[in-house]
Amino acid sequence: MDTTLKISKIKDGTVIDHVPGGMAFKVLSILRVDDLHENSVSIGIRVPSGKMGQKDVIKVENRYLERVEVDKISFVAPEATISIVKNYNITEKYRVELPEKVIGFIRCINPNCISNAREPVSSEFKLVSRAPISIRCEYCERSMSEREILQNL
Amino acid sequence: MLKGNSVVSISDIGKDEMFELFKLADSYSRSVEQGQKIDSLHGSIMATFFYEPSTRTRLSFESAMHRLGGSVISVSEAKSSSVAKGETLADTVRMAASYSDIIVIRHPMDGAAKLARKFSSKPIINAGDGSGQHPTQTLLDLYTIRKELSGIDGKEITMLGDLRYGRTVHSLLLALSEFDVRINLVSPPLLRVPQHILDQVSSRIRIRVTENLNDVISESDVLYVTRIQKERFTDETEYNSVIGSYIVNSEIASTMKKNSIIMHPLPRVNEISPEVDADPRAAYFRQAANGIPVRMALLSMILGGK
């Protein structure tokens, strides 16, 4: 089914497609889309998808994603595709990719980890598995599962 | 390559280098026994920061440096240092690096030594960080097994007690996974080795997990005993139900192989009865004594002494 029938095209901005059904809210939270957000945002939740059964789609007008936002989205929606739209045309399209090194945006689940102390360092993790997703803290060596990562994004 | 580098994890030392270190420790052990004066680190300064209580580790590091002719400067506890004024560990280490040639640190938080390495221009030795690693204890544990049993490969090693919080167990398990050994992990369910540690080693060595020491004691070459940490139990009844089953006494020792050894990183509370001390297989005091030559060898290899 053509999802554009349900969600209108955007002139300029970003389309985040192939987000697992129900995860759109998590993506919106990563993009800090809240009641103060000024750009138009279209959201399709659990729309039919040939590949995924059902999926979420998010279209944000006049907004292009930063690298850290794409990296964060890769943990929420590892299959997501990002399309950059300029004047109604897709000028660039790519699939998100889990980063080998995760620096700064996930908090270590171990409360006794030095990266959670008042020290001048960012959290730092290494990707140890893509399916299921697992990362390991470079400081305390504690592994974090997908569920733990989502809780600490 | 140890020279000029930090040791924050046991994986910072390759297997070949570890055996080179053991040979050097053998040689230092003989020199110390014979009362020979060694002056290879004369002029070098070691700074020690022990933010957590320590007796053996601290004394043996300081003794090792003195025996090599070097000097020691130290901060005894966090409350007498600038940490009490709110200084970060990063700043403390940056400062210490300009006052010394090597820094030994024990800290209550996991990963503290790795952070220290990031900010230090001088080598860092991890003397225990939280429930993380304690690599020099692991070195002396491996050295003890090698010395007492003429090698490490082919041995069956049983770890007993608090395997969840004991950092010596975590470091030793990671190190043993590089050898051809069989491991038995004996603990109450609550105190099992954390899954993230098991994940790192289970593909490389044969591990048996049990609550019953009798299942494995008679086959073990090494019985590595750790203190069950009462403070970790929320239910005292639960603690009392497990504590009795893990006291190594003469009766248990009598079921062990003739050529086996009993180790303990010390301090012990009541998990090994004093009656076992006289048993020739009780190796824990010899193990503690090995801390000196092993740490001498480590300091020497990092600082390039002869």
Residues of B in contact with A117 (CB under 8 A): 89, 109
pLDDT, position A116: 96
- Inform me whether the pLDDT recorded for A17 exceeds 90: yes
Tell me the shortest Cα–Cα distance from A57 to chain B, in angstroms.
35
pLDDT, position A47: 92
Over residues A129-144, the mean pLDDT reads 93
**B57 contacts B290 by C-beta, under 8 angstroms:** no
Cβ within 8 Å, pair B196-A141? yes
- Inform me whether the pLDDT recorded for A147 exceeds 60: yes
Nearest residue, CB atoms, B196 vs list A113, A114, A142: A142
For residue B79, what are the contacts with CB-CB under 8 A and spacing of at least 6?
none
Helix pair angle (B56-67, B291-303), 10° resolution: 60
Q: Please name each of the domains of chain A with its CATH number.
A: 3-95 (3.30.70.140), 101-151 (2.30.30.20)
**Chain B residue at shortest CA distance from A118:** B88
- Which range, of A14-18, A54-58, B72-76, averages the lowest pLDDT? B72-76
d(CA A138, CA A144): 12
d(CA B286, CA B277): 11
DSSP state of B292: H
Q: What are phi and psi of B73, to 5 degrees?
A: -120, 145
Cβ within 8 Å, pair A112-B90? no
Enumerate the domain spans of chain B. 10-133+290-303, 136-288
Residues of B in contact with A107 (CB under 8 A): none
In tens digits, chain B (306 residues) has pLDDT values of: 899 999 999 989 999 999 999 999 999 999 999 999 899 999 999 999 999 888 889 999 999 999 999 999 998 666 656 666 678 999 999 999 999 999 999 999 999 999 999 999 999 999 999 877 899 999 999 999 999 999 999 999 999 998 988 778 988 999 999 999 999 999 988 889 988 888 889 888 999 999 999 999 999 999 999 988 776 677 788 777 777 668 899 999 999 999 999 999 998 888 999 999 999 999 999 999 999 999 999 999 999 865
Cβ within 8 Å, pair B131-A112? yes
* Chain-centre distance for alpha carbon B275: 25
- Dihedral angle sign, alpha carbons of residues B112, B114, B119, B124: positive
Q: May I ask the CATH class of domain B10-133+290-303?
A: alpha beta
Cβ within 8 Å, pair B89-A115? no
pLDDT, position B125: 98
Mutate to test the interface with B, among A107, A140, A144 (most CBs of B within 10 A): A140
For residue B265, what are the contacts with CB-CB under 8 A and spacing of at least 6?
B134, B137, B141, B166, B168, B226, B287
DSSP state of A61: E
Neighbours of A101 (CB within 10 A): 11
Q: DSSP assignment of B225-242, as one string?
A: E----GGG-S-HHHHHHH
Angle, CA B140 vertex, CA B135 and CA B144 arms, to 5°: 145
- Inform me whether the pLDDT recorded for A4 exceeds 60: no
Nearest residue, CB atoms, A113 vs list B90, B109, B195: B109
DSSP state of A148: H
Which residue is it, tokens 């052990």? B29
**Chain A residue at shortest CA distance from B112:** A114
**Number of cross-chain residue pairs from A and B with Cβ atoms under 8 Å apart:** 54
Nearest residue, CB atoms, B132 vs list A115, A141, A143: A141
Percent of chain A with pLDDT over 70: 96
Tell me the shortest Cα–Cα distance from A136 to chain B, in angstroms.
9
Tell me the shortest Cα–Cα distance from B124 to chain A, in angstroms.
15
Q: What are phi and psi of B48, to 5 degrees?
A: -115, 135
d(CA A125, CA A98): 12
ipTM value for the complex: 0.85
pLDDT, position B24: 97
**Chain B residue at shortest CA distance from A137:** B111
Same CATH fold assignment for domains B10-133+290-303 and B136-288: yes
pLDDT, position B77: 65
Residues B197-213 as b or e (16 or more Cβ within 10 Å = b): bbebbbeebebeeeeeb
Percent of chain A with pLDDT over 90: 80
Mutate to test the interface with B, among A108, A113, A119 (most CBs of B within 10 A): A119
pLDDT, position A5: 55
Label residue A79 by pLDDT band (50, 70, 90). very high
Nearest residue, CB atoms, A118 vs list B88, B114, B132: B88
Measured CB to CB, residues of chain A less than 8 Å from chain B are: 110, 112-115, 117-121, 136-143
d(CA B76, CA A143): 33
Quick one: fold of B136-288? Rossmann fold (3.40.50)
pLDDT, position B227: 87
Q: Please, where are the H alpha helices in B131-278?
A: 135-149, 167-176, 195-201, 236-243, 250-253
pLDDT, position A135: 96
**A83 contacts A89 by C-beta, under 8 angstroms:** no
Cβ within 8 Å, pair B109-A118? no
